[in-house]
Amino acid sequence: MKTLQEVQAEVVADFSMYDEWLDKYEYLIDLGRNLEAFPEERKTEDRLIKGCQSRVWLDTTVEGDRLYFRADSDAIITKGIISLLIGVYSGRTAREIAEDDFSFVDQLGLRENLSPTRANGLASMIETLRRTAQNLL
Amino acid sequence: MTQIEKIRQEFPELGEQVYGKALVYLDNAATSQRPLSVIRKWTEMSEKYNANLHRAVHRIADLATSEYEATRDAVRAYLNAEFREEIIFTSGATASLNLVAYSFGEAFIHEGDEILVGEAEHHSDIVPWQLLCQRKGATLKVLPVDDGGQLRVDLLPGLLTPRTRLCCVAHISNVLGLVNPVKEIVNICHSNNCAVLVDGAQGIVHARVDVRNLGCDFYAFSGHKVYAAPGTGVLYGRREWLEQMPPFLGGGEMIGTVRWSGSTWAPLPQKFEAGTQNIAGTPTLRPALETAEALRDPAIEAESEKIKELILNKLQNDPRIRLYGVPKTPEEKIPLFSFSVEHVHHEDLALILDKMGIAVRSGQMCAEPLMDRFGVTGMLRVSFAPYNTVQEAEYFIASLDRAINMLVG
């Protein structure tokens, strides 16, 4: 199995292939479209991530010491971003996630290029992943 | 060079680029761009006239006070108010509305009274009245809009009771872009002894405001939406009301005398201008309103009409798009358009348009009850100013199509 850092480096490499922001968005939209379907009955208030302009739901399953994430959003670009995140973190151990510094998100350039309200949403998504893992340690 | 090109050169921000593309600024209803005359006045006040107002006898204080008070005269003339003391400077429309909610409320609202508010109001014209109603045990009632977004003025006489003290409506809705029939509303309300407050945040930009002609009791607006510095605003109030209302904030130049046994208040308008005022900002209202006047030029207005026609044609005829605020006649719509696109989230559209260089607004536009009314979580809004061009409108339409195609696939 690849290390978390290796997976992150691959995601950064994939994303940096696109020079134009519109192309990066096309890529995120594609990721969003292909995200595994999220069960409607799990779109509950407690799975909703606060601080996003669009609605984002995150559902976590724990198997042994590993965390598995599923997510959905009513906005497709957000869905693409969360797909990137759970693609990296789903299946990792609670310790790996809790100890990660999430700096690969900065390498994607998403933080500075998303609007401040969206950047808050991204920060909320990361914080939720981190806290979920932290709570299991 | 066309007239509009010349005017655009007066607004430095309009020449900026975003992501290597020329900025197309279509978020004017949130804040307008500022002309050089305003920026210069703002700087001049900081460089040459920086002293506190009204208090000191020294030369600079005198000059600063003259600038400030000359601005009051200019605003009075612009609004055609009868008296200069009917012009109160505030930090913005929100502050103006809260002032009325507190001070008019203290004097005139009692348990069991009613306040009537339009359904399409901005939160700043809802929440102060909710707070007032909680404080006084009064009731907040809503004057609805129809499916096209038109205010149901026909329901107004039936909603007014002998206990309705105040009716609060926008001159022009910040979401629907429709001009409300304020004169008619004033006539109906006044014949029922109900005062009328007009939220003029959009009205001051797009209408020729004459408070005596409108007949309203209060008219509130922000400076930053009408080319002036942020943190500036105006409350117009009829003198007989303002005289009977207690102060809102205490301290600074709003006092007459202060004794341990009690204090008295300064005469109008100082009674409502507590604390140090926006010394550098408020005088920018003068060049700002001069700009607004200058932009009311036939050639520029013709360009605005053309933009309105183009955008309305697009938004009303594209089957994927739903427009909120459908005008019955072109005159009642300003070039401000809120809409949603089938199967597309407003925020996705705003993000993609941003990358195309177009600044728009997405979300609830500070009007959650109106979002609920139309059953949406948010909308996309494009709002044009007189300095926007037909080419920008055409670029927006083409970009919107491209963005929708990206998202619908």
SS3 state of residue B141: strand
Please tell me the distance in Å from B81's CA to the nearest CA on chain A.
Answer: 41
B7 φψ region: left (φ > 0), alpha (ψ -120 to 50), beta (else): alpha
In A99-132, which positions are buried (b, 16+ CB within 10 angstroms) versus exposed (e)? ebebebbeebebeebbeeebeebbebbbebbbeb
| Chain-chain contact of A76 with B345 (C-beta, under 8 angstroms) | yes
- DSSP secondary structure letters along B61-83: HHHHHHHHHHHHHHHHHHHT-S-
**E strand or H helix at B231, and its extent?**
none
Residue A67 backbone phi and psi in degrees, to 5: -110, 135
> Which tokens hold the place of B41?
């006045």
Widest CA span in chain B: 74
Average pLDDT over residues B120-138: 98
The CATH superfamily of B3-30+298-408 is: Aspartate Aminotransferase, domain 1 (3.90.1150.10)
pTM of the model: 0.94
Q: Are B215 and B183 in contact (CB under 8 A)?
A: yes
- Amino acid sitting at position B152: R
Q: Are A38 and A72 in contact (CB under 8 A)?
A: yes
B355: contact with A, CB 8 A cutoff:
yes
Give me the pLDDT at residue A106, please: 85
CATH label of the domain that carries residue A108 = 3.90.1010.10
SS3 state of residue B51: coil
Query: Using CA atoms, how far apart are residues B116 and B139, in angstroms rounded to an integer?
Result: 9
CB-based contacts of B44: which residues, under 8 Å, 6+ apart? none
Residue numbers of the domain that contains A38: 4-135
Total of domains in chain A: 1
Query: Using CA atoms, how far apart are residues B121 and B123, in angstroms rounded to an integer?
Result: 6
Q: Are B173 and B146 in contact (CB under 8 A)?
A: no
| Chain-chain contact of A53 with B356 (C-beta, under 8 angstroms) | no
| Chain-chain contact of A115 with B354 (C-beta, under 8 angstroms) | yes
Task: Please report residues of A whose CB lies closer than 8 A to that of B407.
Answer: 29, 76
Measured at the CA of B67, the angle between CA B61 and CA B73, to 5 degrees, comes to 135
Annotated catalytic residue B366: yes
Give me the pLDDT at residue A107, please: 86
Domain with CATH 3.90.1150.10 in chain B: 3-30+298-408
Q: Are B198 and B81 in contact (CB under 8 A)?
A: no
**What number is the ipTM of this complex?**
0.87
Residues of A tagged active-site:
52
Write down the CATH number for the domain with range B39-292: 3.40.640.10
Query: Using CA atoms, how far apart are residues B383 and B390, in angstroms rounded to an integer?
Result: 13
Task: Please report residues of B whose CB lies closer than 8 A to that of A22.
Answer: 352, 355-356, 406
**Banded pLDDT at B136 (limits 50, 70, 90):** very high
pLDDT digits (tens, 9 = 90+) for B40-94: 999 999 999 999 988 778 999 999 999 999 999 999 999 999 999 999 999 999 9
Domain with CATH 3.40.640.10 in chain B: 39-292
Give me the pLDDT at residue A115, please: 60
**E strand or H helix at A98, and its extent?**
helix A94-99
- The structure tokens 């594609």 sit at A30
**Banded pLDDT at A125 (limits 50, 70, 90):** confident
Give me the pLDDT at residue A119, please: 60
Share of chain B above pLDDT 90, in %: 96
In B352-391, which positions are buried (b, 16+ CB within 10 angstroms) versus exposed (e)? bbbbbbbbbbbbbbbbeebbebbeebbbbbbbbbbbbbee
Give me the pLDDT at residue A120, please: 66
Q: Are A93 and A104 in contact (CB under 8 A)?
A: no
Average pLDDT over residues B263-290: 97
Measured at the CA of B96, the angle between CA B92 and CA B101, to 5 degrees, comes to 145
Q: Are A77 and A102 in contact (CB under 8 A)?
A: no
Task: Please report residues of A whose CB lies closer than 8 A to that of B377.
Answer: 55, 74
B19: contact with A, CB 8 A cutoff:
yes
What average pLDDT is seen over chain A? 87
